[in-house]
Amino acid sequence: MDSGIGLLAATAAVRRLRPDADLVLSLDPDGMPWGPRTTEDLTTRALAVADAAAAHRPDALIIGCNTATVHALPALRARLEPGIPVVGTVPAIKPAVAGGGPVAIWATPATTGSPYQRGLIEEFADGVRVAEVPCWGLAEAVEHADEAAIDAAVAAAAALTPDDVTTVVLGCTHYELVADRIRAAVRTTGAGPLALRGSAGAVAAQALRRLGERPAPEAPAGGTLTVILSGREGTLPASALHYPEGRLLPSAGPLADRH
């Protein structure tokens, strides 16, 4: 679940680990973007999106959105667990600071400076300098596959990024869809190439662990795909096919009742 196509990063990671997995994607095009909303409003919308997914009786629910995890994770777990394990998406601060160099966290304005993100920095930074970079309009630009707006938003965030960082944490799942463009835009004075840290792979692996499942990338493809748009069954937004993660998914019909 996510407000929009930011969930493609985690979805593609799950698909690579388990090509046979049946997937239900619950998006909220009627309410996107979630970032500017109040915590109460965002939580209400996130619960509605989660309920739409839960109606299909999934084995687990991945919150494919950092902002929703920051603001709505407790409410979502209270609503769905223990029946449906809920896996949140956390900015990859801990592995980023392990490299020892200065780190920048690119995130939505709602996540940047939030007590949740500040708490992660305090817990894991361990003396490493961390710069929080608000990325105005980038998630929305990625959502609509607006090339000019993506370039402008990436350039603006790059201008706010200290030039000595060695790692950029992608603190919004939408950003993982344009990782190569972010890497090209950030000019650093540090030795070696800039490292980017997303969360999709770790989130997919954690979901499998919560279910007691093992990765099986060699499994035959055939998992189905169901798309829910603000509670209504539909198809992937056309903008999803602009990205490799979207093109990886089948155009399959609704999930069959397996229970």
The reply to whether 65 belongs to the active site is yes
pTM for this prediction? 0.89
**CATH number of the 93-198 domain:** 3.40.50.1860
**Mean pLDDT of the 145-154 span:** 97
Residue 32 has pLDDT above 80, yes or no: yes
The reply to whether 135 belongs to the active site is no
Q: What tens digit of pLDDT does each residue of 174-185 get?
A: 999 999 999 999
Q: How far is it, in rounded angstroms, from Cα 87 to Cα 76?
A: 10
- Report the share of the chain in percent with pLDDT over 70: 95
5, 65, 120, 186: the active-site residue? 65
**Cβ proximity of 200 and 120 under 8 Å:** no
Q: How far is it, in rounded angstroms, from Cα 185 to Cα 152?
A: 11
Residues β-bridged to residue 107? 134
Residues ≥6 apart with Cβ < 8 Å to 43: 71, 72, 75
Q: What tens digit of pLDDT does each residue of 95-129 get?
A: 999 888 899 999 988 888 888 889 999 999 988 99
Q: Which of 42-51, 90-99, 162-171, 187-196 has the lowest mean pLDDT?
A: 187-196
Bridge-based pairing state of the strands 195-197 and 167-170: parallel
Tell me the fold of 5-89+201-247: Rossmann fold (3.40.50)
Residues ≥6 apart with Cβ < 8 Å to 208: 14, 17, 18, 214, 215
135, 154, 172, 240: the active-site residue? 172
**Cβ proximity of 93 and 116 under 8 Å:** no
| Domain boundary assignment for the chain | 5-89+201-247, 93-198
Asked whether this chain's domains 5-89+201-247 and 93-198 adopt the same fold, the reply is: yes
Q: How far is it, in rounded angstroms, from Cα 59 to Cα 226?
A: 14
